[in-house]
Amino acid sequence: MEKAGKIKAWLVSFELMRIVFIKTGGGVLVEQLEISRAFMLLEPGPVVLVTTNDGKKDNIMTISWTMVMDFTPVFAMTTGEWNYSFRALRTTKECVVAVPTVDMLDKVVGIGTCSGSDTDKFTKFKLTPVKGKMVKAPLIQECLANIECRVIDIIKRHNIVILEALAAYFDTSRKEKRTVHAVGDGTFIVDGRKLDRRMLMASKLPAGV
């Protein structure tokens, strides 16, 4: 990219992040970001699809707020009453966390902007439900990976749902393996280059990874 183009790109990204430049007493320039936008700096990924089955039908929602709790297969996600899926999560205590790839982005956004209360999302988004081994919620055939999960806790005060993984599957035959990460403002970052620091991190890595 040419210099002028580079500067323009920086200005655009600063504008998007609403960064305000301020001068400290010592004359050093620091950047202040609107606090309401701070979450965008920590937005995790990848964006996932979470399936449920309430005993009557399958449903899917999009979730970008997830967290790995430790090296055991325990995860957390933030969701609550405002989603139709939540009732099924709470009553069946089961779900599948499916990992879509960048080629599925429009479906991922579509699934996250309509409700299972009035939409059959598997049909609408042409996705294939596959029976799992451990839970009634279906795996999604088109996804790169699927994790069958049990809900082991719901921390109501913060709308956090804690999941224990029971079985996981990865589609090694899939060519597209890049996942997407939500920034939080309707834009997404696609997985890029993989950097290897395994030797440096050896003392912190659990056995077998």
**What are the residue ranges of helices labelled H in the chain?**
3-17, 39-42, 85-92, 105-111, 121-124
> How many residues would you count in the chain?
209
Member of 17, 65, 76, 93 binding ligand FMN (CB under 6 A): 65
Question: Of residues 113, 123, 173, 203, which one binds ligand FMN by CB under 6 A?
Answer: 113
Toward ligand FMN, which CB reaches closer, 31 or 103? 103
What minimum distance in Å lies between the beta carbon of 115 and ligand FMN? 4
DSSP sequence for 11-35:
HHHHHHHTEEEEE-TTS-EEEEE-G
Place of tokens 């049909």: 123
Q: Which of 51, 53, 61, 95 binds ligand FMN (CB under 6 A)?
A: 61
Residue number of the CB closest to ligand FMN reads 112
Phi-psi map region of 189: left, alpha, beta (phi>0 left; psi -120 to 50 alpha): beta
Q: Which of 46, 63, 145, 148 binds ligand FMN (CB under 6 A)?
A: 63
Residues at the interface with ligand FMN (CB under 6 A): 47, 59, 61-65, 78-79, 83-85, 109, 112-116, 182
